[in-house]
Structure formats: structure tokens, C-alpha cells
A = this chain, B = another copy of it.
Amino acid sequence: MGMIDKRLAELGITLPEAAKPVANYVPWSRTGNLVFISGQGPIENGKITLQGCLGDSLSVEDGAKSARLCAINVLAQLKDACGGDLDRVRRIVKLVGFVNATPAFTDHPKVINGASDLMVEVFGDKGRHARSAVASPSLPFGISTEVEAIIEID
């Protein structure tokens, strides 16, 4: 059991099976030492959850929970990209978080902190990343957040 797997266990996080591609794209690609993770949604136990719009049906807390779930699915894909060994992660380089939000919403950072906090809980300083937090007027299947990532691995 790797160090990061132990840390995930301490945090009570069970990574799901990495979801399989549903079209002519793949959940991750690698070029050199960089892994690009496709936009992940708030999937839990194989089901979409936390659908809706920030500033309308969902609270900031719901949104942060959604972003955290996105980040857990990022880690599931990343584990697959690492051949199962998350200790190969050198650095979470970049996250982009898209928040399904109304024109009046202004708390995108608090929502995407749900993803950023998870990365640092799991990877410590290696989990600190550059980030953009923006909005989207709608997202696939009505999900409330979508998070993509770039990670440097060994």
C-alpha cells in the first residue's frame, strides 16, 4: 500500500473505479511527464449527484461538496494513469473548475475550494496547484461543477 493510498484511507476516501470513456475521448492522456485529466463531474457510487445551479437551487456548501467529488474522480483517473501507484505524483500542476452558476453568483472560489482542499489534504505541498475558477451557464447532464486537471508524474 503506497503512502498516498494510506493517506486516502486515513481521510476515509475510497476512490471509485476510474470511469470508462463514453465516446471518442479518453479520461486521461499523457505527454512526457504530464497527465491531462478530462473534465470530471460529481459522480458518487456510479451515479451523478448534486445536479443544479449555484445561485439558484444549490448552496455554496453543496457546490463545494460537488467540487470535492469531482476531485475524487480526478484522483481515480490519475491513479489509473499512474498504473495504480499514486506515489508517482510529483505535483498537481493546474486545476480548472467550472461552476454551473447564475449571472448574479460571485462565490466561485469557495465552491472550487472543495476540489483544491482535497488535493492538499491528499498530497500535502505537492497538492498545491495553479487554478482558475469560472462559471458555465450549464454543464453536461445538469451537473453543478466540472473539474479538469494537469498533473506531473514520475
Smallest CB separation, A29 vs chain B (Å) = 4
> Among the listed B22, B93, B132, which residue makes an inter-chain contact with A148, where contact means beta carbons less than 8 Å apart?
B132
Q: How large is the interface on A (under 10, 10 to 19, 20 to 34, 35 or more residues)?
A: 35 or more
Smallest CB separation, A111 vs chain B (Å) = 10
Q: State in angstroms the CA–CA spacing of A132 and B152 once bound together.
A: 19
The answer to whether A127 has its CB under 8 Å from any CB of chain B is: yes
Within 8 A of B (CB), among A22-76: 22-29, 31-34, 36-39, 53, 55
| List of B residues within 8 angstroms of A130 by Cβ | 25-29, 36-38, 148
Q: Please tell me how many copies of the chain the complex holds.
A: 3
Question: What are 25 inter-chain pairs, A to B, with CB distance below 8 A?
Answer: A24-B113, A24-B116, A24-B117, A24-B127, A24-B128, A25-B95, A25-B116, A25-B131, A26-B128, A29-B93, A31-B91, A31-B150, A32-B32, A36-B93, A36-B130, A36-B150, A37-B130, A39-B132, A96-B132, A101-B137, A102-B103, A102-B137, A106-B141, A134-B139, A135-B136
- Residues of A bordering B, CB below 8 Å: 21-29, 31-34, 36-39, 53, 55, 91-96, 98, 101-109, 113, 116-117, 119-120, 127-142, 146, 148, 150, 152
